[in-house]
Amino acid sequence: MEQWRTREEVVAGLNRMEEAHTGWRRPVAFAIGELRDGETVFTLTNVNERLLSSIALARACGHVSGTATYTLDAETMAEAVALLSPAAACTDMDHPNHRHWTELAERLDRDGGRAVAVFVQDLDDAPVDDHDRAFRATIT
């Protein structure tokens, strides 16, 4: 498995992933929420940060641009984690999404739960659904 041990290698990996994702536009905010008792719960959110995580998640669920939500199964979660995994070798950087997504993927695999990815292109965009509304309430 490829490992990116330096910040430079992480940035190079980010650039390659973004260039290979035709039409990609970075969102201003994104996260993965877990569906619990009919509600979408977000325990880690990203606003104007974690660019590698945003493209990894986007590639895993097929997102290119705009404000959108995607229901995620264990397989899609595992793909997002795998796309982030090379960067985890860089000890100069924190990797909160990798840790969070790994734990969530394990829980989904074990318990058969569901998760949802939310991408917000612009905070002025209207929320697209209840998952997006729950996310916006978390980040404002």
Domains of the chain: 7-139 (3.30.70.2010)
What is the spatial distance between Cα 7 and Cα 23, in angstroms, rounded to a whole number? 25
Distance in angstroms (rounded) separating the CA atoms of residues 59 and 84: 11
pTM confidence score: 0.95
User: 57 and 117 in contact (C-beta within 8 Å)?
Assistant: yes
pLDDT digits (tens, 9 = 90+) for 31-90: 999 998 889 999 999 999 999 999 999 999 999 999 999 999 888 999 999 999 999 999
Whose CA is closest to 116, among 103, 101, 99, 94? 101
pLDDT for position 17: 97
Q: Which residue has the higher pLDDT, 36 or 21?
A: 21
**Over the stretch 77-123, which tens digit does the pLDDT of each residue have?**
999 999 999 999 999 999 999 999 999 988 888 887 789 999 999 99
